[in-house]
């Protein structure tokens, strides 16, 4: 099977799945992955531990840490003092989910989402951890989640990429963790499955606009001649690649219309803008990206990957976490609500979470109003909404310190298996042969988490 030469951007896929679209009936047809880069603190947002106040400032008991490794940033600290959250929690919705005061809008959608408090990962630093949750491997070289999905399922819109990436910058004052193009790279899959990063300034898609001084009629004239000359070449050489190239130029021409139409928000109502909050009209913000994500999935884009940078609160956590939540809470909730009222939530999966959680112990100085938290891979919180997942549930328990999982451990590979399952794909059968081996997103691991499924 010569996969690499005969396909083009999302038009022809399903090499692994044969002609059938999926392995079984899908609940979800598309994904919006709201990745919170840096690792949000689970104990300040979803995993409330009211009794920790009693341990405030006291060293984390060895019986809790159990010798687990910690990063080089806190392994040199003489103590690991417990820092309970300073934020208030309350129960919300019919489901009674506990949510922090930092997330008032998320609190209003708890009956539409599944909160998982017991996700765990293998990596303890940003680069390997974010690479792991996005590609299934801590080390580079593997295809990203979105690439696997666009390879497996293709696109429903020939005039837009199947897999779109949106990056918004930190709202806190700490420096952002970097991101890497490998997070949306196609790895060893052909590069037409890689994510296309939309930009917030200039052309949304690189090189989309015609050069200055080339009007549409000129462009059309050039393409007509180009097509005619390429056609003559095809008639002489009979190389199918030439026909493909002719088609690609026409698709590029259509993208030049479909992308601006996508980006044009003039038909959105004031009420919609209000839902997503004040940042929504500023290009490049997380709020504007949430609205754009809805517009993308409406148009059949298969996988929309957002990154919100700035969750790495090693210090000044109260200040920066508040700023991050102000930027993220309302648009995330609005996206779920907006999809729901348009009937899109039933077959769109929304995922919210970071690459790991944060430690219960304080990094740096612990004061009345200030603390920092280091990376914590052993448990963290994510939430899921839409196509195929339960609504109004909280899954997983952690110990009294939010340091170890007490019930329902769910590994990153399990999350990946479960999301693929919702898309109608058996994670063990979505494979690609590279260097002689059938690779999968979930490596040789991953179990579908039945508890999460509707």
Partner 1 sequence: MLAIFVLLAAAPDFVKDVRPILSDRCFACHGPDDNRRMANVRLDTKEGIAQALAKIEPRVAHDKKALRMPPPGSPELTPAQIATLKNWIASGGEWRSHWSFDPPQRAVPPNVPGATPIDKFIRARLDREKLVPAPRADRATLLRRASLDLTGLPPTPAELSAYLADSSPRAYEKAIDRLLASPHYGERMALHWLDLARYADTHGYHIDSHRDMWAWRDWVIGAFNKNLPYDKFTVWQLAGDLLPNPTPEQILATGFNRNHMINYEGGAIPEEYLVEYVVDRVEATSNVWMGLTMGCARCHDHKYDPIRQRDFYRFFAFFNTVREKGLDGQKGNAEPLLRLPEPAQKARLDAVATRIAELEDWQDRANIPALQRDWEAQAKFPAAPESSPEGKLAASIRVKIGARLDTVPTTIFEEPVRVWIDGGEAIGRNRRGSYLYVARDGRVERTRKQFVTGEWMNVAVSGGALYIDGERAETQPISGVVIPAVHTRGSREDPRQFARSLTLDEIRVLARHEPARLALAVPESKRSKDQRQTLFEYFSAHAGPESVRQVHAELAALYREREDLLYEIPSAMVMGEMAIPRETKILARGDYRNGTEAVSAQTPGFLPPLPKDAPPNRLGLAQWLVSREHPLTARVAVNRFWHMLFGTGLVKTVEDFGSQGEVPVHPELLDWLAVEFMESGWDVKRIVKLMAMSDAYQRSSKATPALVERDPDNRLLVRGPRFRLPAEFVRDNALAAAGLLNAKIGGPSVAPYQPSGVWEDIAYGDTFSAQRYQQDHGDKLYRRSMYTFWKRTAPPPGLATFDAPDREKCIARRALTNTPLQALVLLNDPTYVEAARVLAANAMATPDPLQAMYRRTLARNPTPRESQLLRAQFVKQLSVYRNWKAGADELLSVGEAPVPAKIDRAALAAWTTVASTILNLDETVTKQ
Give the footprint of partner 1 on residues 87-126 (CB under 8 A): 124-126
On whether the CB atoms of residues 40 and 176 are closer than 8 A, the answer is no
As measured in angstroms, the least distance from the Cβ of 111 to partner 1 is 35
407 is an interface residue for partner 1 by CB under 8 A: no
Cα separation, 317 vs 315, whole angstroms? 5
445 is an interface residue for partner 1 by CB under 8 A: no
- Cβ proximity to partner 1: between 170 and 379 the closer is 170
Among residues 112, 176, 338, 414, the one that binds partner 1 under rule CB under 8 A? 176
Piece of the chain touching partner 1 by CB under 8 A; list 40-48, 246-254, 271-279, 377-385:
246-254
As measured in angstroms, the least distance from the Cβ of 247 to partner 1 is 9
Contacts of 427 (CB under 8 A, 6+ apart): 416, 417, 420, 421, 440, 441, 442, 446, 448
Gyration radius of the chain over CA positions: 23
Residues 202-221 that bind partner 1 (CB under 8 A): 202-203, 205-215, 217-219, 221
Assign 86 to helix, strand or coil: coil
Helices (H), 7-100: 42-45, 62-65
Cα separation, 436 vs 418, whole angstroms? 27
- Cβ proximity to partner 1: between 236 and 270 the closer is 236
Q: What binding mask, one character per residue, do residues 354-393 give for partner 1 by CB under 8 A, x or -? A: --------------------xx------------------
Which tokens in the block code for residue 287?
């709020």
Piece of the chain touching partner 1 by CB under 8 A; list 4-12, 49-57, 111-119, 349-357:
4-12
- Cβ proximity to partner 1: between 43 and 177 the closer is 177
Q: Per DSSP, what are the bridge partners of residue 49? A: none
19 is an interface residue for partner 1 by CB under 8 A: no
Cα separation, 139 vs 125, whole angstroms? 12
Assign 43 to helix, strand or coil: helix
257 is an interface residue for partner 1 by CB under 8 A: no
Residues 223-242 that bind partner 1 (CB under 8 A): 225-226, 228-230, 232-234, 236-242
- The distance in angstroms from the start CA to the end CA of the chain is 37
Cα separation, 441 vs 288, whole angstroms? 30
Cα angle: 128, vertex 129, 135; to 5 degrees? 80
197 is an interface residue for partner 1 by CB under 8 A: yes
As measured in angstroms, the least distance from the Cβ of 214 to partner 1 is 6
Which tokens in the block code for residue 196?
């296309």
Q: What binding mask, one character per residue, do residues 136-175 give for partner 1 by CB under 8 A, x or -? A: ---xxx-------------------------x-x-----x
Q: Give Cα 320 distance to the centre of its chain.
A: 21
How many residues at the interface with partner 1, by CB under 8 A? 85
As measured in angstroms, the least distance from the Cβ of 2 to partner 1 is 6
Piece of the chain touching partner 1 by CB under 8 A; list 327-335, 346-354, 409-417, 430-438:
430-438
Where in 248-356 does DSSP place strands (E)? 303-308, 348-353
String of b and e for 130-166 (b: at least 16 CB within 10 Å)?
bbbbbbbbbeeebbbbbbbbbbbbbbebbbbbbbbbb
- Cβ proximity to partner 1: between 22 and 244 the closer is 244
As measured in angstroms, the least distance from the Cβ of 270 to partner 1 is 30
As measured in angstroms, the least distance from the Cβ of 257 to partner 1 is 12
Cα separation, 287 vs 265, whole angstroms? 13
Cα separation, 43 vs 411, whole angstroms? 19
- Cβ proximity to partner 1: between 249 and 273 the closer is 249
Piece of the chain touching partner 1 by CB under 8 A; list 181-189, 272-280, 323-331, 353-361:
181-189
As measured in angstroms, the least distance from the Cβ of 442 to partner 1 is 15
Cα separation, 310 vs 325, whole angstroms? 10
As measured in angstroms, the least distance from the Cβ of 110 to partner 1 is 32
DSSP 102: T
DSSP 8: -
Which tokens in the block code for residue 317?
């956590």
Q: What binding mask, one character per residue, do residues 53-92 give for partner 1 by CB under 8 A, x or -? A: ----------------x-xxxx------------------
As measured in angstroms, the least distance from the Cβ of 267 to partner 1 is 25
Among residues 36, 155, 192, 337, the one that binds partner 1 under rule CB under 8 A? 192
Q: What share of the chain is helix, strand, coil (3-state, %, to 5)?
A: 35, 20, 45
Among residues 12, 14, 21, 252, the one that binds partner 1 under rule CB under 8 A? 252
């Amino acid at each position: 099977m010569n996969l690499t030469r005969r396909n083009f951007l999302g038009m022809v896929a399903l090499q692994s799945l044969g002609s059938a679209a999926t392995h079984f009936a899908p609940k979800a047809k598309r994904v919006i992955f709201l990745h919170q880069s840096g690792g949000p603190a689970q104990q300040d947002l979803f995993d409330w531990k009211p009794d920790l106040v009693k341990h405030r400032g006291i060293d984390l008991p060895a019986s809790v840490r159990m010798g687990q490794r910690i990063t080089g940033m806190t392994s040199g600290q003489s103590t690991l003092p417990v820092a309970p959250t300073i934020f208030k929690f309350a129960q919300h919705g019919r489901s009674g989910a506990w949510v922090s005061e930092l997330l008032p809008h998320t609190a209003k959608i708890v009956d539409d989402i599944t909160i998982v408090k017991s996700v765990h990962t293998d990596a303890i630093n940003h680069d390997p951890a974010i690479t792991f949750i996005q590609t299934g491997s801590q080390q580079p070289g593997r295809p990203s989640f979105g690439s696997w999905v666009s390879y497996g399922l293709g696109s429903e819109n020939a005039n837009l990429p199947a897999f779109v990436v949106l990056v918004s910058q930190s709202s806190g004052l700490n420096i952002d963790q970097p991101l890497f193009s490998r997070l949306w790279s196609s790895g060893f899959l052909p590069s037409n499955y890689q994510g296309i990063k939309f930009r917030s300034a200039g052309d949304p898609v690189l090189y989309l606009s015609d050069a200055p001084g080339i009007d549409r009629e000129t462009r059309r004239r050039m393409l007509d001649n180009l097509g005619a000359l390429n056609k003559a070449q095809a008639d002489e050489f009979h190389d199918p690649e030439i026909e493909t190239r002719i088609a690609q130029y026409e698709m590029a021409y259509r993208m030049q219309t479909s992308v601006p139409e996508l980006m044009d928000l003039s038909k959105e109502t004031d009420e919609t803008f209000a839902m997503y909050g004040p940042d929504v009209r500023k290009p490049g913000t997380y709020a504007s990206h949430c609205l754009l994500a809805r517009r993308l999935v409406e148009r059949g884009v298969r996988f929309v990957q957002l990154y919100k940078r700035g969750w790495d609160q090693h210090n000044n956590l109260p200040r920066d976490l508040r700023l991050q939540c102000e930027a993220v809470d309302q648009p995330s909730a609005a996206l779920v609500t907006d999809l729901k009222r348009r009937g899109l939530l039933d077959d769109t999966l929304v995922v919210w979470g970071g690459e790991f959680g944060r430690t219960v112990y304080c990094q740096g100085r612990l004061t009345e109003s200030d603390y920092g938290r280091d990376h914590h891979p052993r448990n963290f919180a994510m939430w899921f909404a839409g196509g195929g997942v339960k609504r109004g549930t909280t899954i997983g328990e952690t110990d009294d310190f939010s340091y170890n999982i007490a019930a329902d451990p769910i590994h990153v590979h399990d999350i990946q298996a479960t999301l693929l399952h919702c898309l109608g794909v058996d994670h063990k059968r979505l494979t690609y042969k590279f260097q002689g081996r059938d690779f999968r997103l979930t490596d040789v691991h991953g179990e579908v988490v039945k508890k999460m499924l509707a």
